[in-house]
């Protein structure tokens, strides 16, 4: 069947609001379809040593390391290291391959934050290369189109559309790719984009978890019904009108074309040249307000990280408009309040088999996220009192708000908490440089809008703006929205210790805090920390998800304390991809089994 006929058939199918067309059906899974394979009845075996529940051993290497959520991308970054590139070069190469092999989660037209540790300076740098609202994205414009603040909720995302052209912000990621290469890399686009071009042109077999996430959103209005996928998205991302299945070969010649243009002309092609014109043509055809001036004027910012001291470590996280700093507030609350709540005990002495451990972690999360949703915004538009929020005095003042035995009811917050689809990666090189990288489309396939012929989607991070004029996060031209993306770094005794990356919407800051507790207080190695069961709490509707083994152990006790708890699998628990440095000169790494990825080194 010709592609045009397939698209017509998909768009002409009977529409059920939110679920148009058979193309939305998820790929078959060997253990969840109508006829599961016999092996699905098996039980998992044990390791030969160490923590028996650990999925695999740490990866250790001396010369360099790459870890991320897809093996081909990790191998591409390692190839760059072995060919003389440094950790920054490897990070860009890895991100570019992820744009090909995990395209629903990340892309060059998305958001990017980077934490770079430069060994020669013994210094941490932070780049914010997230998108800005177009010059026509005003509160009045959204209200004129019929969008208004949702009076039932407050906080980021209140009332904003999620998909389509309206939540699209000016892309930032590609600007950041070139910026980090220019400032800290040894190579250029010609070298670091070549592995991605190869996979885009020649194809690759889609991996398991990624196949299950390969679902296009409904992005365009459909007359007399609801919404439908963008036809350009269907022709770019589907095979014969459906998502590719695990093991099926997928190609993206349009993205290869874009990468070759970048090799020739750099980011100017994207922000002022041929690709910019294609972005604007697509946007304007759908009623978007982005202009050529918006694209040409885009720039990221080098920023100072948020930081606290914690149990002898220096913890660095992204500052506003990222949510990552809430992980530091959460840990600060725990550091100051746990001895009061437990009559002198610590989380380590309670241990993760104790329901009280999880109760106190969740209550600290509620407090930190209440501040996050009330205060976080673009600091170029609204002052965010970060020093006060991360201070010992503020943490101590919050201790009385928690009962050691009863769950609290947090103030209602963001309706879009559960959203967010992202990649994270970490790299390290033989010179001691290390990178924590987070790159995202925000939602699966972002806005759902694809730039035809160029093989990438426009992201929809603008969905996290508020339409409440009193909100610090209210939409405004050239403003950056509240951003869930998070990345961090840890120093010990003024030397590098660990990258901090865990993806997944509002899971990121609370996940970072859990990861750091696992490593810094409980003593877990990187792979064990990636494997350990996690919780995810949502302020709306004050629900607590526990991964099923954790639920079986402490769920009933937490319910008795008043938590609205339920069992969950790893789908919404994010994905850890971290590297530790161990003197003298050994890298140790772990990759989350909830994803398809791996850690590789040499």
Chain segment 100-137, per-residue pLDDT in tens: 999 999 999 999 999 999 999 999 999 999 999 999 99
Q: What is the pLDDT of the chain when averaged over all its residues? A: 92
Instruction: Tell me the domains of the chain and their CATH numbers.
Output: 63-203+249-302+421-464 (no CATH), 304-318+332-417+486-601 (3.60.20.40)
| Residue 590 pLDDT > 60 | yes
Residue labelled with tokens 């350990």: 532
- pLDDT at site 21: 36
| Mean pLDDT along residues 166-195 | 98
Residue labelled with tokens 């800051």: 509
- pLDDT at site 417: 56
| Mean pLDDT along residues 346-370 | 97
| Residue 397 backbone dihedrals phi, psi, to 5 degrees | -70, -20
Instruction: Note the pLDDT tens digit of each residue in 271-314.
Output: 999 999 999 999 999 999 999 999 999 999 999 999 999 999 99
| Mean pLDDT along residues 224-234 | 87
| Residue 193 pLDDT > 90 | yes
- Residue 148 pLDDT level (bands cut at 50, 70, 90): confident
- Residue 223 pLDDT level (bands cut at 50, 70, 90): low
Residue labelled with tokens 């008795």: 560
Of 33-47, 165-179, 182-196, 349-363, the range with the lowest mean pLDDT is 33-47
Q: What is the DSSP string of 70-98?
A: SHHHHHHHHHHHHTT--HHHHHHHHHHHH
- Residue 28 pLDDT level (bands cut at 50, 70, 90): very low
End-to-end CA distance of the chain, in Å? 46
Length of the chain measured in residues: 602
Instruction: Note the pLDDT tens digit of each residue in 398-440.
Output: 999 999 999 999 875 554 555 557 999 999 999 999 999 999 9
- pLDDT at site 110: 97
| Mean pLDDT along residues 499-507 | 96
| Mean pLDDT along residues 35-60 | 90
| Residue 201 pLDDT > 90 | yes
Cis previous bond, 424, omega within 30: no
Q: Closest by alpha carbon to 196, among 109, 110, 93? A: 93
Q: What is the CA radius of gyration of the chain?
A: 23
| Mean pLDDT along residues 360-374 | 96
Q: Is the torsion defined by CA of 69, 70, 76, 81 positive or negative?
A: positive
- pLDDT at site 240: 94
| Mean pLDDT along residues 323-327 | 98
Instruction: Note the pLDDT tens digit of each residue in 522-559.
Output: 999 999 999 999 999 999 889 999 999 999 999 999 99
| Residue 586 pLDDT > 80 | yes
């Amino acid at each position: 069947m010709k592609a045009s006929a397939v698209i017509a058939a998909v768009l002409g199918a009977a529409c059920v609001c939110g679920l148009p067309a058979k193309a939305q059906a998820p790929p078959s899974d060997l253990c969840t379809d109508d006829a599961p394979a016999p092996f699905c009845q098996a039980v998992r075996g044990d390791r030969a040593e160490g923590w028996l529940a650990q999925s695999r051993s740490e990866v250790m290497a001396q010369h360099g390391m790459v870890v991320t959520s897809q093996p081909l991308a990790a191998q591409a970054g390692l190839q760059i290291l072995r060919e003389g590139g440094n950790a920054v070069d490897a990070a860009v190469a890895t991100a570019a391959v992820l744009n090909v092999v995990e395209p629903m989660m990340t892309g060059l037209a998305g958001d990017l934050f980077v934490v770079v540790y430069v060994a020669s300076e013994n210094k941490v740098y932070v780049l914010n290369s997230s998108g800005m609202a177009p010059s026509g994205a005003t509160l009045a414009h959204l209200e004129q189109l019929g969008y208004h603040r949702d009076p039932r909720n407050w906080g980021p995302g209140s009332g904003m559309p999620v998909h389509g052209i309206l939540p699209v912000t000016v892309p930032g990621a590609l600007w950041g790719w070139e910026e980090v290469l220019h400032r800290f890399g040894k190579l250029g686009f010609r070298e670091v984009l070549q592995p991605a071009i190869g996979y885009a042109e020649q194809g690759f077999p889609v991996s398991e978890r990624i196949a299950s996430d390969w679902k296009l959103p409904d992005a365009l209005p459909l007359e007399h019904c609801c919404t439908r996928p963008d036809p350009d998205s269907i022709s770019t991302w589907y095979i014969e009108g459906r998502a590719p299945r695990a093991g099926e070969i997928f190609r993206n010649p349009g993205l290869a074309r874009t990468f070759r243009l970048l090799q020739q002309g750099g980011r100017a092609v994207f922000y002022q040249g041929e690709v910019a014109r294609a972005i604007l043509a697509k946007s304007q055809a759908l009623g978007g307000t982005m202009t050529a001036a918006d694209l040409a004027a885009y720039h990221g910012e080098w920023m100072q990280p948020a930081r606290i001291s914690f149990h002898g470590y220096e913890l660095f996280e992204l500052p506003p408009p990222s949510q990552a700093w809430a992980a530091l507030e959460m840990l600060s609350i725990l550091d100051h309040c746990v001895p009061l709540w437990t009559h002198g005990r610590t989380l380590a002495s309670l241990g993760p088999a104790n329901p009280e451990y999880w109760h106190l972690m969740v209550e600290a999360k509620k407090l930190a996220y209440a501040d996050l949703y009330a205060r976080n915004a673009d600091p170029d538009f609204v002052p965010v009192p970060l020093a006060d929020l991360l201070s010992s005095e503020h943490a101590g003042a919050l201790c009385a708000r928690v009962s050691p035995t009863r769950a609290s009811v947090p103030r209602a917050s963001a309706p879009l908490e559960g959203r967010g689809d992202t990649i994270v990666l970490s790299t390290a090189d033989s010179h001691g440089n290390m990178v924590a990288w987070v790159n995202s489309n925000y939602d699966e396939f972002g806005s759902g809008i694809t730039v035809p012929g160029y093989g990438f989607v426009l992201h929809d991070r603008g969905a996290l703006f508020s339409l409440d004029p009193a909100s610090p996060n209210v939409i405004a031209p050239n403003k950056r929205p509240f951003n869930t993306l998070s990345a961090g770094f840890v120093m010990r005794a003024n030397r590098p210790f660990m990258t901090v990356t865990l993806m997944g919407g509002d899971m990121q800051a609370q996940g970072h805090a859990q990861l750091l507790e696992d490593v810094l207080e409980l003593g877990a190695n990187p792979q064990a920390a990636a494997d350990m069961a996690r919780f995810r709490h949502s302020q709306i509707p004050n629900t607590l998800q526990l991964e099923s083994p954790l639920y079986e152990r402490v769920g009933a006790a937490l319910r008795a304390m008043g938590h609205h708890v339920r069992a969950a699998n790893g789908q919404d628990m994010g994905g850890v991809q971290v590297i530790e440095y161990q003197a003298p000169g050994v890298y140790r790494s772990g990759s989350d089994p909830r994803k398809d990825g791996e850690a590789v080194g040499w």
